[in-house]
Amino acid sequence: MSGFSRSSAVGLLAAASLLTTAACGSGSAETSTTASGGKPEVVAAFYPLQWLTEQVGGSDASVTGLTAPGVEPHDLELSIQQVTELKKAALTVYIKGIQPAVDDAVDPAKSFDAATAVTTIPAGEHAEEEGEEEHGHEELSYDPHLWLDPSRLATAATELGERLATADPAHAQGYRDRAATTAATLGTLDQELTQGLTTCRSRTLVTAHEAFGYLADRYKLKQVGITLDPETEPSPARLSEVAKLAKAEGVTTIFTEALVSPKVAEVLASQVGAKTAVLDPLESKPSGDYLSAMRDNLKTLQTALGCTA
Ligand SMILES: [Zn+2]
């Protein structure tokens, strides 16, 4: 466990060659609006953005997701066909910093980076220690997991409505109307979370993967992530640091997530005398949808943190 060397040069080289491969396809994208029953084709990079784009696009747009259900979006590699699809799309909706392959392939003139629409928070502070080569977060000054705050996602919905209206002016009103409805729905969810997390015995969130910074920021919780990267094993030093903190703060639950092995969280939980529970970072499609999964997260948090609402 101690032989965790920082082979960052190798990691960067590997990442660079992947990026170069994707960048080679910088061909001309003459057809900005490809007919799909006459509808503009809109590509959404991964689940929460796909959900958002489907809500706002409605029946006026043909929405395709790049990341298949059950796939960790950070690891996505694009097929040649997907790069072509992305180049042809009227609009690509993504968040810079989540998927290096997508960041590299998007055409800035025909893409919407949702992180540009919201106030971002800084990236996790132990990012440097944990070997972040493959996560795509390494060059980022901000945390890209913004969809875990419904109020920020509502802001992104409004801006997405404007971008779709520009890409497809004939249906501008429809996009703007649905963006307003979506923002209102997200506003209701935000209120439920605010109320549900007002009075809690503990406000410390120990998570497997540091994905919940925006949830913590919005609802005044304190996130302690075991790792920033879902793929990286924490160093023994980090693990004992988190264990000490969890004990000091009387943490009763260590949160895991569906796409990450619960092993590390289970080890930590047994050290601290806590149990584990699944909190969904929504990086992949849940069994319901974005709204129902966030409501499930609220229930999980209320139980784990001892909230009375
Ligand atoms: Zn992540």
| Residue 5 alpha carbon to ligand 1 centre in Å | 22
Q: Is 292 exposed, middle or buried (0-12, 13-18, 19+ CB in 10 A)?
A: exposed
According to the model, what pLDDT value does residue 232 have?
76
| Residue 37 alpha carbon to ligand 1 centre in Å | 35
Asked if the model's pLDDT at residue 228 lies above 80, the reply is no
Residues 34 and 42: their CA atoms lie apart, in Å, by 10
Least confident piece of the model among 9-13, 206-210, 291-295: 9-13
The Cβ of residue 270 has, within 10 Å, a number of other Cβ atoms equal to 12
Q: pLDDT band at residue 125, thresholds of 50, 70 and 90?
A: low
pTM, to two decimals: 0.83
| Residue 35 alpha carbon to ligand 1 centre in Å | 34
Percent of the chain scored above 90 by pLDDT?
70
| Residue 191 alpha carbon to ligand 1 centre in Å | 25
Name the pairing type of β-strands 253-256 and 204-209.
parallel
| Residue 54 alpha carbon to ligand 1 centre in Å | 22
Tell whether the torsion through CA atoms of 102, 108, 113 and 118 is positive or negative.
positive
Q: pLDDT band at residue 139, thresholds of 50, 70 and 90?
A: low
Residue pair 282/300 in contact (Cβ under 8 Å)? The answer is no
Residue pair 208/253 in contact (Cβ under 8 Å)? The answer is no
Q: pLDDT band at residue 258, thresholds of 50, 70 and 90?
A: confident
**Quick one: average pLDDT of 254-263?**
84
| Nearest in space to 68 (alpha carbons), one of 47, 89, 85, 87 | 47
Phi (first) and psi of residue 91, to 5 degrees: -155, 140
Asked if the model's pLDDT at residue 78 lies above 70, the reply is yes
* Per-residue pLDDT reduced to its tens digit, 8-43: 343 444 444 443 333 333 333 334 444 567 899 999
| Nearest in space to 208 (alpha carbons), one of 274, 136, 292, 119 | 274
**Quick one: average pLDDT of 276-282?**
94
| Nearest in space to 304 (alpha carbons), one of 188, 194, 207, 195 | 207
Asked if the model's pLDDT at residue 210 lies above 90, the reply is no
Residue type, 171: H
Q: Is 139 exposed, middle or buried (0-12, 13-18, 19+ CB in 10 A)?
A: exposed
| Residue 203 alpha carbon to ligand 1 centre in Å | 21
Least confident piece of the model among 22-31, 84-93, 292-301: 22-31
* Per-residue pLDDT reduced to its tens digit, 36-57: 678 999 999 999 999 999 999 9
Q: Would you give the distance in Å from CA 72 to the centre of its chain?
A: 10
Give whole-number Cα distances, 228 to 102, 116, 144, 238, in Å. 20, 22, 12, 11
| Residue 130 alpha carbon to ligand 1 centre in Å | 14
| Residue 141 alpha carbon to ligand 1 centre in Å | 14
**Quick one: average pLDDT of 130-134?**
41
